[in-house]
Structure 1
Amino acid sequence: MSNIPQDENVARAARLDTPTLSDALDKLGIVGQCYKIKPRSSDFRMAGRAWTLKYGPAQNPPGTVGDFIDDVAPGSVIVLDNNGREDATVWGDILTEIAHRRGIAGTVIDGINRDTHLCLSLGYPVFSKDHWMRTGKDRVQVEATGIPVQIGGARVAPGDILKGDTDGVVVIPQEHEDRVLAIAEEIEAAENHIRAAARSGIRLDAARKQFKYHQLQSREAT
């Protein structure tokens, strides 16, 4: 959308896939892979900066599940930490419709969503542990927004870059994003050279040695 500010590092992340970014994170010793967080469609692709929200068990009387959507800037990724709960949803069709209309980049949930048919039909990217129909109303409530949260064992702070695709979601911490992206681009270039060399008839082991494949993910200090 034309009203979304250009963000060069988000654009760089969007051009890379999650396995390559995962390897770059490993090289720097950063835990940024969101374990078991999966796309509701293998076609979903997403990149943007995190807008975070933390849920907790509902109190008596219960608090709200959240009327936050109008506060989220276009191009953001909504990141919902529901402590991995799979018995109560925190995202459904109303939020999907409004997020899609507002130009939100996608939604990532440490937990589950429902009304999956609408995100599929609109092509709005939702990444979660699973989907099920049971509402979170009177079961969970908003504890805080704009704070660091946990998604699949990875820490996500407001403003971190998230990239999602068929293989899942990675988070790139804002303080390390330039280095992570540069390493990921180096890995991608080297792997492209290896594939090209193999297609030309060079043995794979020779191509990997030539382009230092086995050093691509070797750990280095941040």
Structure 2
Amino acid sequence: HKARTVVRSGDLQFDWDESFELDLVCNKQLDVLVYSWDPQHRHKLCYRGALSLTTLLRQSPIHQLALKVEPRGTIYLRLRHTDPFQLYRRRGLPSLRGNVPALFGADLETVVTRESKGAPGSAPVPIILRRCVEEVERRGLDIIGLYRLCGSATKKRLLREAFERNSRAVELTPEHVPDINVITGVLKDYLRELPEPLFTKCLFQMTVDALGSAVT
């Protein structure tokens, strides 16, 4: 997976002050690349640094580093590793709004029932899913690595909180959320935190059995 900061300008020092959440899948090295951004032509690679994740994670889950980059310079960063078993463990979340269940971590039936308020003909899909997918289809289908590229963790948290307050009132326009990867990040978080996955254990086993029968 990849993460991309916002564009910063300066003479000798740059302060990004951003945080990202990256999924690691058999990753052994973290590469840090600094480009000179060009709105019309290919971006120019100016600085590059790398560090071994295998060595770091074996020592401690938390690190504060001064990474030397070539041909010269230093980037200061902080890394925190969370065990996948804890991170992806499905569990319901406590209520964030009195007696009303939270949006993230609540089961689909509860969310759909609450949002429809018993209105006949209401779509059996949570508003957050519908709105995020519509916005992605509107302006994100031409982006390479749409669901692999991570947006700012801080901006993602703010968008999550906005959905928790009122899913219908959230502004997802490019003016309010310029980075489409923030929206895809919220969408992935919502699906990941469901108490039961969309592809349930029962359906998974049925599919495995069906594929096994087809192969034999």
| TM-score normalized by the length of structure 2 | 0.22
Q: Which has the higher contact order (CA 8 A, sep 6+)?
A: 1
| TM-score normalized by the length of structure 1 | 0.22
Q: Higher strand fraction: Structure 1 or Structure 2?
A: 1
